Homo-oligomer: A and B are copies of this chain.
C-alpha cells in the first residue's frame, strides 16, 4: 500500500483523535470532505488503520498498577514456545507480550489493581504456566509518557 504525505498527516490526526468529523480533517488538510472520506476508507481497506478504539483511564477504572515482567523459559523448543504464547494470549491482565532478543525471552506488560492483585496474578496464573524458568518483575513508579500513536 502506497501512502503519500497527505495520508501520513491524516493518519497522524486520526491517531490523535478519531472522533472529529471528516469536515474537520478536510479543513486541516485543505481537501473536500469527500476526498478525505475516500482516503480514510482506502486506509481502512488497505489495513493501515487496524481499528478504532476508546482509550480508558487506568486510574479511574482502578487498574493503575503496571508491571513489566521478564520471563525466561526452561527450554526453547518449538512446542514450549507455542504453548507459552497461547497461554499468555488468554491472560487478560497481560496487555502486551513481546518475544525479545537478549538475556530474557519475553517481556510482559501487565495491568492490575494493586500489588495484592499482582501477587494474586503471579501465584495463581503466571507461575502455574508450563515451561517457565524464571521471572523478574519491575513496577512502574511513574508512567512518564504513553502514546498509542505510531510515529510517522
Contact = CB atoms under 8 A, between A and B. Distances in A.
Nearest to A92: B151
A95 B96 CA distance: 14
Contact of A144 (B89, B104, B149): B89
Nearest to A142: B99
Given A1-B60, A61-B3, A61-B152, A145 B53 contact: no
A95 B151 contact: yes
Contacts of A88: 144-145
Nearest to A90: B145
A140 interface: yes
A53 B150 contact: no
Contacts of A1: 60
A61 B3 CA distance: 8
Interface of A: 1, 3, 8, 11, 14-19, 46-58, 60-61, 63, 66, 68, 85, 88-89, 92-102, 104, 106-107, 111-112, 136, 138-152
